């Protein structure tokens, strides 16, 4: 894997947990319990799914044992359906605030944007020197 790609993956993987912890603490301190639970559960769902997807892809793309793309897609859709059922249950049973859940589900997107900005900054300042 390319060094930039590996750095991005490592950064996103670690920053997912850091952002989840930071946003969860902020939610616990500054909002209602249902809103904070939404942030926490949403962040856990998306972060765990990200880690499982990364594990599936790393395992599937090993040179000695390439896995069929259909197997990867089936695992992806199973995770997607399970996540959908969990989200449906959390909202329908009013365990979480939907907006808090949306914020929690945005943790990985925020990590990816942050990682991209950090890499762009490195590239720009590397070229400027």
Dump pLDDT digits (tens) for 7-64.
888 889 899 999 999 999 999 999 999 999 999 999 999 999 999 998 888 888 777 7
* pLDDT over 60 at 1, yes or no: no
For the entire predicted model, the pTM comes to: 0.84
pLDDT value of position 128: 61
Q: Give the Cα separation of 90 and 85 in Å (integer).
A: 9
Mean pLDDT rounded to a whole number for the chain:
89
């Amino acid at each position: 894997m390319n060094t930039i790609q590996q750095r991005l993956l490592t950064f996103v993987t670690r920053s997912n947990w850091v952002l989840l912890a930071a946003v969860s603490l902020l939610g616990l301190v500054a909002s209602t319990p249902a809103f904070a639970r939404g942030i926490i559960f949403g962040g856990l769902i998306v972060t765990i799914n990200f880690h499982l997807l990364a594990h599936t892809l790393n395992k599937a793309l090993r040179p000695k044992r390439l896995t069929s793309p259909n197997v990867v897609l089936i695992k992806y859709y199973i995770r997607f359906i399970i996540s959908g059922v969990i989200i449906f249950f959390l909202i329908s049973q009013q365990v979480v605030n939907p907006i808090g859940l949306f914020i929690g589900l945005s943790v990985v997107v925020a990590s990816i944007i942050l990682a991209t900005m950090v890499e762009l900054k490195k590239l720009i300042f590397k070229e400027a020197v």
